[in-house]
Chains A and B, each alone.
Chain A
Amino acid sequence: MYCYDEYDQKIIDERVAQYRDQVCRRLANELTETEFLPLRLQNGLYMQVHGYMLRIAVPYGLISSRQMRMFAHIARKYDRGYGHFTTRQNIQFNWLKLEETPDILADLASVQMHAIQTSGNCIRNITSDEFAGVAQDEVVDPRPYAEILRQWSTFHPEFAYLPRKFKIAISGGREDRAAILAHDIGISATKNAQGEIGFRILVGGGLGRTPIVGSEICEFLPWQHLLTYVESILRIYNQFGRRDNKYKARIKILVKALGIDEFRRLVEEDWADLKDGPGTLTAEEVDRVASFFIDPEYEKLPDHNSKLNEFKADNRNFSNWMSRNVIAHRVPGYAIVVLSLKKPGNAPGDATDAQMDAIADLADRYSFGEMRITHKQNIVFADVKQSNLIDLWQEITRQELASPNIGLLTDMISCPGAEFCTLANARSIPLAKLIAERFENIDFQHDIGEITLNISGCMNACGQNHIGNIGVTGVEKKNHEEWYQVSIGGAEGNDCAMGKILGPSLTFYQVPEAIDRILQVYLRERIDEGERFIDTVHRIGHKPFKDYVYATDFEEESVKNDRDDMSVMPAQYAVPFYSPRF
C-alpha cells in the first residue's frame, strides 16, 4: 500500500499543529463555535451533547495492521473500547473529548493517517473497490489513481467551501463494487481498444432526499487528464451549485437543472484552459504511485486444496463460510476473505479494540499485513493462501468475525440512527438487530440467497436505503411510534437502481413482518434457486409484493408482546449525539 514520503508526512504533521492551535483558540474562546464548526468538520469532528465523534479517513479503504492497531489503541485510550466502520470505508469513534482530539490526530499521524476532509462541504475521502488489485474481473487497478486523487484533493484551496459535501468513488473492475453511479463523481478506470488506460466519468449521482443515478459526462478520458478534468467539474459546481437551500445544494441538483449536456459544455469550456497544462499527470508520477501497489510476493501454489474439500464436507459452518465469505482471487492458490462485522445481534460495522488487535495480528499472519474496509462495513483480507483458510476460519470464529452471511440478509447496512444521530426520525440499529434475530437461521438465509437490506434512520439515507434490494427508511415519529417506509428493487453495481416504495409506512415492529412477507412472495414466485430476489422483483414487478404485504393486517397482539420484550431498548430521543451528515 501507499507509504508517505517526507512531503506527505510534513503536510500531515503541519495539519496536526494547525488543528491543535485551532482547538486551543476555541477553548480560549478566540474562535466562536460558528467559526470553529467548519474547521473541525473539515477534520471529521462532529459535536455531540456528551462528547465528540471523530471520523478518521481510511483512504479508499486500505489499511495496514499497524494502522488497525492504532484504531484499537484509540478505542481503548480515548473511547469506550469500540469503533464503528462506515459505509464510506472510514472509521468513527463516538465518545471523545475535544481537548484530546489533537493528541489523537498526532497518534494517527505517527502511522500515516488523518481525519482530513472526512466531513464538511469539501471533497471527502475517495472510496474504491474493496477487491482492487485482486479481483478476477479487474481491468485497471484503481488504487494508484485513488491515491493520486487523495493527494490532489487534500487541502485543495479552491474547493474547501463548496455548496455541499462532495464524494468521489473510483473502480476498475468489470463489475462496479464502489457504487460509482451513486456518487457526486463516479470514475470507472478502463482501457480503450488500443489498450490505453482512461476513465469513464459520471457526475451527479447520489442518494439522500433526491436519489439520482449519475450521468455520463465523459465516455473515455485519457488518464493524463484525470486531475484537470475533475478540477473543472469542481470549479463549475463551486460557482453554480445552489447555496440557498441545503437540500438542493448537491451537484446532482445542478446537473439535473442544467441538463448533462449544458453541464458538460460548461465543464469543457473551463477545461479548455487547463487541458495539457501543468496539472496534467505524468507517467513518472503514475508509475511512482503505482510502485506501492505492485503485487506482494505471491508463492507459486496449486489452485486446489483437497484438505479444504474434506473439511468442508465435514463441517457445515465452514462450508457455509466458504461459500459466502471467501471469494476467488486472480492468483492461483490464493483467496479473498471477508470478515463479517455483521454478527446478528451486534451493531452492523462495530468492532471492539480486542477484535481490532486480533484482526491486525491475523492480517500479519495471513494477508501480508494489509486489509480493506468495505462499503458494506466488513473487513477484507485480500491475499490469503487457500491452505491457510481453515486456520484463519478457526481464529476468526473465536473473534466472532466468521458469520457466514456476506451478501445475505443479515449482512445489512445500517446507519447509526436515533440513538446517535440528531437528524434521525427513527432508530436503525435496534431495527437491524430485530430483523437479524428474526432471520438468524443461516439455512433460511442461504436459501434466500443474495439480497441486500439497507436501513436509514431518515431521508438523508446514510444507510443507502435507496440502493438496497430492500430499503428501510425512518420517516416520522408519531404517537410514540416510529414509522418506516419500505422499498424494494434498489440495486448497486452495474445495474444501480433506486428502489420503489412499497406502500403506506409501517411501525418499528411491523417492519420485520413486512420483510417476512416480501420474502414469502419471493420464495413463492422465483423460478428456481438461481433467480435472485432482485431478478424476481424485476420480472414480476412490485405489485405482487405490495398486494401480499398489505393484504392482511399486522397482528396487534404480537406487536404488544414484542413491545414488552426488553431485549429491544427504547430509543433515547432525549440524547442527541451527532449528525453524520454534516
Chain B
Amino acid sequence: MMIIKNKILVEDDWQVLRLNDQETPENVVVAAGKVIVPLKVWLAQRDGLKQRDDLGVWFASDERSEELKEDVRKFQIIAVDFPKFSDGRGYSIAFNLRARLGFTGELRAIGDVLRDQLFYMQRVGFDAFAPRPDRDIHDALKGFEDFSEVYQTSFDKKLPLFRRAQRKGKSSVEVVNG
C-alpha cells in the first residue's frame, strides 16, 4: 500500500490490526510481522508482546497519549485513528505524544484522512499519512502546500510568528484605510 511519508509517496507494509466483534483486546492473536496494534491490545497483552520489535500501536480518538507512558520509546511507529475527519481529538493526541511524551518515531494518521486536513495534521506532529483509499493519494499531497506561513506555535514551529519575524508596527505598514 502507498502512504505519504515526509511529504513523499512510499510503499508501506505495516498492517493495522482492527478488532472484529468477536475479538477482545485480551483474546486477539497478534499475527507475526509488522503490525500496528490497538492501544488496548498492547495494554492487555503487554507481557507477551513486549519482546517483539516489529510492533506499532495505534490510538483510538477517545484514548489519551498518557496511557502509553514510558512505553512510547519502545515503538518506531505510532498511529492515531480518525474515525471521522471531523473528530479533532487526534490532533491533541499527536501533539501530546510529540511535545509531552517526546515520541520521535513515525507518527501516522490513519482512518478518515483527507487532503484538506493534512496541513493541520503535519503541524501537530504527524509525519506519515495513510489517506482514505478511495481518494487520489497524489492529489492529497497538495494539501501540504495550502499555507506558506502560520501565526502560532505547534509541534512543527517551535516559535510563533512574532518571535520568528520582524513584523511591522503602525509606523511602517502602509495604512490602507480611508
> Cβ of B51 < 8 Å from any Cβ of A?
no
Contact of B175 among A3, A39, A163 (CB under 8 A): A3
Q: Which of chain A's residues has its CB closest to B88's CB?
A: A161
A273 touches B169 (CB 8 A): no
Contact of B169 among A35, A151, A288 (CB under 8 A): A288
B151 touches A14 (CB 8 A): no
> Cβ of A239 < 8 Å from any Cβ of B?
yes
> Cβ of B119 < 8 Å from any Cβ of A?
yes
Chain A contact patch, size range: 35 or more
Chain B contact patch, size range: 35 or more
Contact with A along B140-161 (1 / 0, CB 8 A): 0000001111111110001111
**B99 to nearest A CB, angstroms?**
7
Task: Given A152-B151, A158-B92, verify A288-B116 contact (CB < 8 Å).
Answer: no
A278 touches B159 (CB 8 A): yes
Contact with B along A278-293 (1 / 0, CB 8 A): 1101101101110110
Contact of B158 among A7, A39, A157, A278 (CB under 8 A): A278
- B residues near A288, Cβ cutoff 8 Å: 162, 167-169
B87 touches A14 (CB 8 A): no
Q: Which of chain B's residues has its CB closest to A277's CB?
A: B153
Contact of B178 among A7, A66, A163 (CB under 8 A): A66
> Cβ of A477 < 8 Å from any Cβ of B?
no
B173 touches A161 (CB 8 A): no
- A residues near B149, Cβ cutoff 8 Å: 7, 10-11, 14
Inter-chain CB contacts under 8 Å: number: 140
**A14 to nearest B CB, angstroms?**
5
> Cβ of A315 < 8 Å from any Cβ of B?
no
Contact of B161 among A7, A159, A235, A281 (CB under 8 A): A7
- B residues near A11, Cβ cutoff 8 Å: 147, 149-151
Task: Given A3-B177, A66-B176, A111-B176, verify A292-B120 contact (CB < 8 Å).
Answer: no
B116 touches A35 (CB 8 A): yes
Contact with B along A15-49 (1 / 0, CB 8 A): 10010001000000011000100110000000000
> Cβ of A160 < 8 Å from any Cβ of B?
yes
- A residues near B85, Cβ cutoff 8 Å: 35, 38, 161
A279 touches B169 (CB 8 A): no
B153 touches A279 (CB 8 A): yes
- A residues near B92, Cβ cutoff 8 Å: 158, 235, 238-239
A10 touches B148 (CB 8 A): yes
- A residues near B175, Cβ cutoff 8 Å: 3
Task: Given A162-B88, A288-B167, verify A157-B162 contact (CB < 8 Å).
Answer: no
A157 touches B124 (CB 8 A): yes
- B residues near A279, Cβ cutoff 8 Å: 152-153, 160
Contact of B91 among A18, A35, A65, A158 (CB under 8 A): A158
B162 touches A285 (CB 8 A): yes
B160 touches A239 (CB 8 A): no
CA A372 – CA B87 in complex, angstroms?
Answer: 36
> Cβ of B100 < 8 Å from any Cβ of A?
yes
Task: Given A121-B86, A162-B88, verify A155-B177 contact (CB < 8 Å).
Answer: no
> Cβ of B103 < 8 Å from any Cβ of A?
no
- B residues near A30, Cβ cutoff 8 Å: 139
> Cβ of A112 < 8 Å from any Cβ of B?
yes
- A residues near B58, Cβ cutoff 8 Å: none
> Cβ of A5 < 8 Å from any Cβ of B?
yes
Contact of B160 among A112, A155, A243, A278 (CB under 8 A): A278
Q: Which of chain B's residues has its CB closest to A360's CB?
A: B178
Q: Which of chain B's residues has its CB closest to A14's CB?
A: B147
CA A475 – CA B162 in complex, angstroms?
Answer: 48
- B residues near A163, Cβ cutoff 8 Å: 88
CA A11 – CA B149 in complex, angstroms?
Answer: 6
**A281 to nearest B CB, angstroms?**
8
CA A1 – CA B170 in complex, angstroms?
Answer: 9
B87 touches A243 (CB 8 A): yes
**B171 to nearest A CB, angstroms?**
7
Q: Which of chain A's residues has its CB closest to B156's CB?
A: A157
CA A292 – CA B116 in complex, angstroms?
Answer: 34
Q: Which of chain A's residues has its CB closest to B168's CB?
A: A5
Interface centre among B95, B117, B121, B151 (most CB of A within 10 A): B151
Q: Which of chain B's residues has its CB closest to A285's CB?
A: B162
A160 touches B170 (CB 8 A): no
> Cβ of A370 < 8 Å from any Cβ of B?
yes
Binding site for A on B (CB under 8 A): 64, 85-89, 91-93, 95, 99-100, 114, 116-117, 119-121, 123-124, 139, 146-154, 158-163, 165, 167-171, 173-178
Return the 5 tightest CB-CB contacts between A and B, nearest first.
A161-B88, A157-B123, A157-B120, A64-B177, A285-B162
List 10 other contacts, CB 8 Å, given A279-B160, A288-B168: A3-B177, A14-B146, A67-B177, A151-B151, A155-B147, A157-B154, A160-B91, A227-B152, A238-B88, A277-B153
11 A-B interface contacts by CB (under 8 A)? A22-B116, A35-B85, A38-B85, A66-B178, A157-B91, A157-B120, A158-B88, A273-B99, A284-B162, A292-B169, A364-B178
